[in-house]
Amino acid sequence: MLAEILQSLPQVLVDGIALGAIYAVIALGYTMVYGILELINFAHGEIFMTGAFIGVAMLILMTGMGWLAAMPAVLALILVLVVTSILTGFMGVGIERMAYRPLRNSPKLITLISAIGVSFLLQDLVRFITEYKRGNYILTGPSMFNEKFSIKFSSISSSFSDAFFKTSTLILIVAVVIMMVGLDFFVNKTKWGMAMRAVAQDRETASLMSINVNKVISLTFFIGSALGGATGVLFAVQYGTIDPYIGFILGLKAFTAAVLGGIGNIRGAMAGGLMLGILEMFAAANLQLLTGGIFGAEYKDVFAFAILIIVLIFKPEGLFGKAVTEKV
């Protein structure tokens, strides 16, 4: 059994890091908003999904106009990422302004219900527009970055097999690392990042220190939503086919990653996403072997969530979170 697990481990790590990178960036959106407003923004998964649809629509349009063939594929992807990030960023700001800000002083349950309502609204709106324009709400983008490469783990040890990945996987991981490093630098080293941390620590005191709390909250939603939208594009390029419901399950798992790492902790969200992705891929590859055929790869989510429950029983604040007392 151990030999078979070791044999598949390199491929599990490559696929797990790629999937975990997506979870990590989506988890950042959840954890940033929670850190400042103590709000679980359940519409964030749908912003990721909307970004995927905007990106694929742009790539299809560029293909139809011949632009995709006329420019380097990487340049086209960067253009799509920038435009999608800006659009989804402003979408996040609009959602905060219309759906959350009027309820800011209401009980948290009311705001949570509003977030769930926005989530369903975006799902159905994207489905309606896609069906109206394409006749089908499942969308497949142009094939890009499909060149395959291998990492020769077998040269390190005969116990390992080689790991294979596409160019899109490499682009995904590099782009996500750039986004995460950039966000970490912004939050910890810039004036606006300092303002965000101040508002997260104590909103009322920050406002007394001449910090424009509303602007900081809007900026937080813009950054989180922009990163989510860009990740949606990378997801669509990596996995090819998207539908209006991808945001729900991916958003749920990304929220799980944020809780696993420590909700409100940005670096914790990054680590939690990568851990969840690797755990999920490990379960998909080895669960049937570990359970003697009782459970197959389709039960990978059960395995990942079971790990989460065990972690939270012994460390409720998450792996990297700090235990805090409730404000009164």
* CATH code, 226: 1.10.3470
The average pLDDT across 118-123 equals: 93
Tell me what pLDDT residue 328 has: 44
Tracing tokens 């960036």 back to the chain, one arrives at 25
Q: What band does 191 get if pLDDT is binned at 50, 70 and 90? A: very high
Number of other CB atoms surrounding residue 23 within 10 Å = 29
User: For residue 121, what are its two tokens?
Assistant: 């609204």
| Residue 5 counted as domain residue | no
In a domain, 159, yes or no: no
Residue 103 lies in a domain: yes
Q: What is the mean pLDDT of residues 200-211?
A: 86
Name the pairing type of β-strands 241-242 and 163-166. unpaired
Instruction: Report the domain count for the chain.
Output: 1
pLDDT category of residue 80 using cuts at 50, 70 and 90: very high
What average pLDDT does range 98-110 have in this prediction? 87
Residues 6+ apart with CB under 8 A from 36: 196, 199, 200, 203, 216, 217, 220
* Cβ–Cβ under 8 Å, residues 21 and 277: yes
Query: What tens digit of pLDDT does each residue of 210-245 get?
Result: 889 899 999 999 999 999 999 999 999 998 889 999
User: Which residues lie across from 241 on neighbouring strands?
Assistant: 140
71 C-beta neighbours (distance < 10 Å), count: 12
Of 89-98, 199-208, 292-301, the least confident: 292-301
For residue range 26-78, what is the model confidence (pLDDT) as tens digits?
998 888 888 888 888 889 999 999 999 999 999 998 888 888 888 888 899 99
Q: What is the structure's pLDDT at 325?
A: 53
Residue 4 domain-assigned? Answer: no
Position 324 in a domain? no
Containing domain of residue 108, as a range? 10-143+164-314
- How many whole angstroms separate alpha carbon 253 and alpha carbon 259? 10
pLDDT digits (tens, 9 = 90+) for 238-270: 988 899 999 988 888 888 888 888 887 888 888
Q: Is 325 among the domain residues?
A: no
In whole angstroms, give the CA distance from residue 204 to residue 182: 28
pTM: 0.87
